[in-house]
């Protein structure tokens, strides 16, 4: 491969300039909506968004400013979909430079897609989304991280990002019904939850206490969001459609998930990507429990876990998914000596954990430093137990404990519910 020129996946680098063909551009923006276009075009590059991002707070690098990614993506969009941009592209007045592009891979994964930057932005620019779009370009052009591509290949070949092959056996040992038709609920778990049988056991116990007839599918061990977050939208869409089709085939009434990101993907981002509304109701377990509590069908009391307790809310469940009241009220009812954050669950003042980026081996060096922001916040609140609503959050905070950054206990909310529900 010559230094002056190379071609890869729709990219052509010549004399330090990146040239992108229309095929890659059309694939990149195939799920864009008018609001997405408005979002990237409204960015003023003021940089205020960076102050809610622990990656930028840690590195202070220009390419870790969330708006920088949006500007790079907007340049590509305008080059193919705006009059001025098309003219500028033909006159070679607008290009992605090689010096800028060499920072793309690092920048795209110096982001958890938590959405805090969007809340901070005066124009509500979707900087979290442009990080994923950047990963999409990296995936199809051959510049993605190797570990990200491994998650994608596992999703294609094994049906889940972590390459788990014995999901049916695990589910059977825990006690779940498998592929049972006409059940009320299809429980859709995620790979990290499958690796933690305590989470599965707690979940089944909670559903049994709620007297819900539940089944899992032997064919669904990943809702598909890992492939999406790594840039392979096509694989992610196929996995999502398979979840919906399985639910309809089993004739269930509702899909329930315990994964914060899983809920956001199944209910909101996934349907946006395939341009269809979910054919069946999708619900997070916290909402299921809270609605039954308000109806008087279940009692909640303080759970027997180490106190005092505090919380790390799921960014994808609350900030992006819109589920705030159920997890907060459940915590008030069941978490002993609960130290409640002053900010609402969706607040941009609550730091993100390192979430799914924990699975990217190439980012290990920076993750420990980035984790310090959320760990310091949680430690300041003083809880001995930290309750989480997303398995990626659990992984991040447990890694912080292993790295001796924190000494609190990380408690998945299903354990809290299992100990706090009284029929």
pLDDT digits (tens, 9 = 90+) for 381-397: 999 999 999 999 999 99
Strand 409-412: give its sheet, edge to edge. Answer: 309-312, 385-388, 409-412
Convert the pLDDT of each residue in 166-187 to its tens digit: 999 999 999 999 999 999 999 9
The whole-angstrom separation of Cα 159 and Cα 189 is: 13
The whole-angstrom separation of Cα 84 and Cα 88 is: 6
The whole-angstrom separation of Cα 423 and Cα 414 is: 16
pLDDT for 86: 83
| Entry pTM | 0.94
Category of 75 on φ-ψ map: left (φ > 0), alpha (ψ -120 to 50) or beta: alpha
Q: Which helix (H) or strand (E) holds 185?
A: strand 185-187
**Secondary structure (3-state) at 134:** helix
The whole-angstrom separation of Cα 209 and Cα 7 is: 58
The whole-angstrom separation of Cα 35 and Cα 280 is: 25
Q: Which parts of the chain have pLDDT scores under 50?
A: 1-8
- Residue 422's DSSP bridge partners are 299
The whole-angstrom separation of Cα 2 and Cα 14 is: 10
The whole-angstrom separation of Cα 323 and Cα 291 is: 13
Q: Are 19 and 13 in contact (CB under 8 A)?
A: yes
The whole-angstrom separation of Cα 57 and Cα 21 is: 35
The whole-angstrom separation of Cα 57 and Cα 48 is: 12
pLDDT for 7: 47
């Amino acid at each position: 491969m010559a230094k002056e020129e190379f071609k890869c996946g729709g990219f052509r680098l010549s004399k330090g300039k990146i040239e992108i063909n229309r095929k890659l551009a059309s694939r990149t923006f195939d799920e864009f909506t008018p609001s997405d276009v408005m979002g990237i075009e409204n960015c003023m590059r003021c940089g205020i968004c960076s102050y809610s991002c622990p990656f930028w707070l840690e590195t202070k690098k220009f390419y870790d400013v969330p708006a920088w990614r949006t500007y790079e993506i907007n340049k590509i969009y305008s080059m193919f979909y705006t009059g001025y941009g098309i003219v500028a592209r033909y006159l070679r007045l607008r290009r992605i430079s090689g010096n800028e592009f060499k920072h793309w891979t690092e920048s795209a994964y110096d982001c958890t897609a938590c959405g805090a930057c969007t809340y901070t932005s005066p124009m509500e620019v979707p900087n979290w989304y442009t990080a994923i779009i950047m990963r999409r370009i990296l995936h199809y052009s051959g510049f993605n991280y190797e570990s990200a591509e491994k998650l994608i290949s596992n999703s294609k070949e094994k049906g889940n990002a972590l390459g788990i092959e014995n999901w049916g056996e695990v589910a059977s040992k825990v006690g779940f019904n498998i592929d049972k038709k006409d059940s009320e609920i299809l429980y859709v778990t995620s790979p990290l939850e499958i690796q933690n049988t305590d989470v599965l056991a707690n979940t089944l116990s909670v559903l049994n206490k709620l007297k819900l007839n539940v089944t899992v599918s032997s064919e669904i061990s990943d809702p598909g969001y890992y492939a999406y977050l790594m840039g392979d939208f096509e694989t992610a869409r196929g996995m999502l459609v398979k979840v919906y089709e399985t639910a309809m085939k089993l004739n269930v009434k509702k899909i329930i998930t315990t994964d914060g990101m899983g809920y956001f993907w199944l209910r909101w981002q996934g349907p946006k990507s395939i341009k269809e509304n979910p054919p069946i109701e999708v619900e997070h377990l916290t909402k299921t429990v809270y609605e039954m509590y308000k109806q008087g069908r279940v009692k909640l009391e303080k759970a027997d876990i180490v106190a005092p307790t505090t919380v790390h809310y799921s960014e994808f469940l609350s900030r992006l998914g819109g589920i705030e009241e159920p997890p907060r009220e459940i915590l008030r009812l069941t978490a002993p000596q609960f130290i409640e954050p002053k900010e609402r669950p969706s607040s941009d003042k609550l730091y993100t954990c390192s979430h799914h980026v924990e699975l990217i081996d190439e980012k290990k060096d920076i993750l420990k430093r980035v984790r310090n922001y959320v760990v310091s916040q949680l430690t300041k609140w003083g809880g001995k137990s930290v309750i989480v609503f997303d398995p990626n959050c659990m992984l991040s905070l447990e890694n912080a404990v292993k790295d001796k950054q924190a000494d609190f206990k990380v408690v998945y909310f299903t354990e809290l519910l299992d100990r706090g529900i009284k029929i």
